[in-house]
Amino acid sequence: METHVQENGGTNGHQENDVSPAAGANTAATLSRLREAFASGRTRTFEWRRQQLEGLGRLLADHEKAILDALHADVGKPSLEAYIAEVGYTAREVASALKNLSRWMKPERVAMPLVSQPGVSRIHREPLGVVLIIGPWNYPFQLVGGPLIGALTAGNCVLVKPSEVAPAVSALLARLLPRYLDPECVAVLEGGVAETTEILTHPFDHIFYTGNGAVGRVVMTAAAQHLTPVTLELGGKSPCIVDRDVDLDVAAKRIAWGKFFNAGQTCVAPDYVLVHEAQHDALLARLTSTLRTFYGDDPQASPDFGRIVNARHLRRLNALIPDSGAVVVGGQSDESTRYFAPTVLRDVPADSPVMADEIFGPILPVLKVKSIEEAVRFINARPKPLALYLYSTNDDSQRRVLEGTSSGGLVINHCWLHLGVPGLPFGGVGASGMGAYHGKHSFETFSHRKAVMKKPTSIDPPIMYPPYTESKETWIRRLL
């Protein structure tokens, strides 16, 4: 999930030493309050956790329009896209957590070996303590709300650091979260890179960061100073394979939807397409017609196509087009309105600028391959992606990609709908991230699985105690 050092969790061009003493004191005071609240034990109860989830649900219901307006102001999101991916998604996560919270909190009994009996062994989930959530700008509400739900269900106190690159959503979170959640246990600190850097000098019990790998390394380095565990939701170049055996009409619609949703500013958007040479020209034709169906002859006039977050990112995207193949459709931009046309490229060299890093915008490079095996080799020669998409009706091709590649998630014949399945963990592997969340996986991420054994004192067989006789050894070997 793309963010840059000068943007995620913040910056406005500040340097590390620009942080004011007042800001540093504010962080220290806030963390002191959160630690004191956690030490009181209030967050451990089922009732407190339920109240926080219900409060977040009320916030979504009471302020849906304000959230959608803020998302449009920051990222130019069409209203329906903002509802689907931000408000609606977060509401579903709240509902799922409320439904399952009691079950998730119950101790889990595990079997005991004969040598350890009599007794009972259980796994108790306990909260970690005070956790930090650093959100990105591309889905600035959902990608704070999702981890926050996990942290609250697990019974933690939380410090939220929204991205200042989405200032309207950041201000909204700072204003509303303390009104709907326990203000002694949940706090929001705004600011840029200097403020984020200062926050990271403090010890936490867990840090959850969503952004790119460059900033992920900074976060992990800072966390290491306090041996703080981290969850890193990063990104990378998520590939899309189009096989010879494929329903091309469906594939083109689903690829275009997944790629150009939120103007391509999605961590799991298809970053490039590897299409079988037999389907190459037909896929390009269908992508072109699909874009016309979706957004009309002039996508800039369409209310259903989003905008780039700021001018710097738009200029970054413009710089990718030269020397990156031929433009099939799109390529236009307008910096005054932050518009970048939905763009498809062909004849893209594997070492071209557009193939170097995650694109994070509405540019779709299409590369030709001769076989599924060639596509798998191409993917495996690069860092492991956050998501991988295969469009194929061939069982052998599906098995070859499933077993022959490694990615955070794999979707066959669609794009990134696995995010909406609460039972599936969402996270990366290798350079695309560490740790996972969504549904119960969020609860587990912010919980410590404590091993607890309880033994009676009425029965105390001497077999484990010295002196170690031959008879004891015989029985122990049998029992172990």
Residue 479: predicted pLDDT = 82
pLDDT at residue 11 tops 50: no
**Is pLDDT of 442 > 80?**
yes
Higher pLDDT, 46 or 6: 46
pLDDT at 180 over 90: yes
Which pTM does this prediction carry?
0.92
3-state per-residue secondary structure call for the chain: CCCCCCCCCCCCCCCHHHCCHHHHHHHHHHHHHHHHHHHCCHHHCHHHHHHHHHHHHHHHHHCHHHHHHHHHHHHCCCHHHHHHHHHHHHHHHHHHHHHHHHHHHCCEEECCCHHHCCCEEEEEEEECCEEEEECCCCCCCHHHHHHHHHHHHCCCEEEEECCCCCHHHHHHHHHHHHHHCCCCCEEECCCCHHHHHHHCCCCCCEEEEECCHHHHHHHHHHHHCCCCCEEEECCCCCEEEECCCCCHHHHHHHHHHHHHHHHHCCCCCCCEEEEECCCHHHHHHHHHHHHHHHHCCCHHHCCCCCCCCCHHHHHHHHCCCCCCCEEEECCCEEHHHCEECCEEEECCCCCCHHHCCCCCCCEEEEEEECCHHHHHHHHHCCCCCCEEEEECCCHHHHHHHHHHCCCCEEEECCCCHHHHCCCCCECCCHHHEECCECCHHHHHHCEEEEEEEECCCCCCCHHHCCCCCHHHHHHHHHHC
Instruction: Please tell me the predicted confidence (pLDDT) of residue 10.
Output: 33
Reply yes or no on whether the pLDDT at 199 is more than 80.
yes
CA end-to-end span of the chain: 48
Q: 410: which 2 tokens?
A: 């794999």
- Walk me through the domains of the chain, giving residue ranges and CATH numbers: 16-235+431-450 (3.40.605.10), 239-427 (3.40.309.10)
Q: Which residue has the higher pLDDT, 386 or 114?
A: 386
Q: Which residues are catalytic?
A: 233, 267
296-308 pLDDT, tens digit per residue, is: 999 999 999 999 9
Give the pLDDT of residue 17. Answer: 43
Mean pLDDT of 395-424: 95
Position 14 scores a pLDDT of 32
The chain-wide mean pLDDT, for the chain, equals 93
Q: What is the pLDDT of residue 5?
A: 35
Q: What is the pLDDT of residue 478?
A: 85
